[in-house]
């Protein structure tokens, strides 16, 4: 084998290795990004807590609630209250209402975030409808709870000193294979 042939084979092996590495990284990027966001609160990704905060501070914070429905999901979805003001560390309970406007059972799943995004690491959800899929029968209306608190560590972060309001936003998406409106959209139940 000539030197040129060996160099070409070596170059081809290096290029193939780089391509395989890039493909592997592309598959790993979504789970890695999700894990990074969960740990750091990056992009307004909220945290999940197993228990309420261990202390409550005198400082109050207002939590606003927002809801949207993705195109193709025949649901009405809205917060039952516009906002709540509570002390940092105090456990809050909020409710969202969802109604299936179609003529067939529909499964949906909510994604969520908070703004400002830097507050994501401090917003702790104990229980949330967004942790699982929600299936609603035709015309069914449900009230879905969210149990949460704002971590007292927020008060120790100088970058959070000016934050007085946090907005919790949810978007519901269809979670099954068929379009949510396939059975036809009925009027308000």
pLDDT tens digits for range 13-45: 777 777 766 665 555 544 444 444 444 444 444
What's the token pair of residue 42? 């990056």
pTM above 0.85, yes or no: no
72-127 confidence digits (pLDDT tens)? 899 999 999 999 999 999 999 999 999 999 999 999 999 998 999 999 999 999 99
Model pLDDT, residue 8: 77
In this prediction, residue 189 has a pLDDT band, given cuts at 50, 70 and 90, of very low
- Say which residue the tokens 């209402």 belong to: 97
Binned at pLDDT 50, 70 and 90, residue 4 comes out as confident
Helix (H, G, I), strand (E, B) or coil at 107: strand
Comparing 173 with 16, the larger pLDDT belongs to: 173
For residue 140, what pLDDT is reported?
Answer: 97
Tokens of 128: 């949330």
- 137-164 average pLDDT score: 96
CA atoms within 13 A of residue 123's CA, in its CB half-sphere: 29
Q: Select the more confidently predicted residue: 82 or 182.
A: 82
Q: Judge contact between 112 and 150, C-beta under 8 A.
A: no
The structure tokens listed for 113 are: 């975030």
Residue 45 per-residue DSSP state: P
């Amino acid at each position: 084998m000539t030197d040129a042939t060996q160099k070409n084979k070596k170059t081809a092996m290096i290029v193939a290795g780089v391509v395989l590495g890039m493909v592997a990284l592309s598959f790993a990027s979504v789970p890695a990004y999700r894990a990074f966001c969960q740990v750091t609160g990056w992009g307004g990704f909220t945290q999940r807590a197993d228990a309420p905060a261990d202390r409550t501070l005198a400082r109050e914070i207002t939590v606003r609630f927002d809801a949207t429905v993705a195109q193709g999901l025949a649901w009405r979805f809205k917060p039952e209250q516009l906002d709540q003001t509570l002390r940092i560390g105090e456990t809050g309970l909020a409710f969202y209402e969802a109604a299936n406007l179609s003529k067939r059972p529909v499964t949906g799943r909510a994604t969520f975030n908070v703004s400002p995004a830097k507050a994501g690491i401090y917003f702790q959800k104990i229980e949330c409808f967004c942790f699982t899929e929600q299936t609603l029968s035709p015309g069914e209306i449900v009230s879905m709870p969210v149990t949460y608190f704002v971590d007292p560590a927020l008060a120790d972060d100088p970058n959070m000193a000016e934050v007085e309001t946090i907005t919790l936003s949810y978007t519901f998406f269809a979670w099954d294979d068929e379009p949510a409106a396939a059975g036809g959209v009925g009027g308000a139940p």
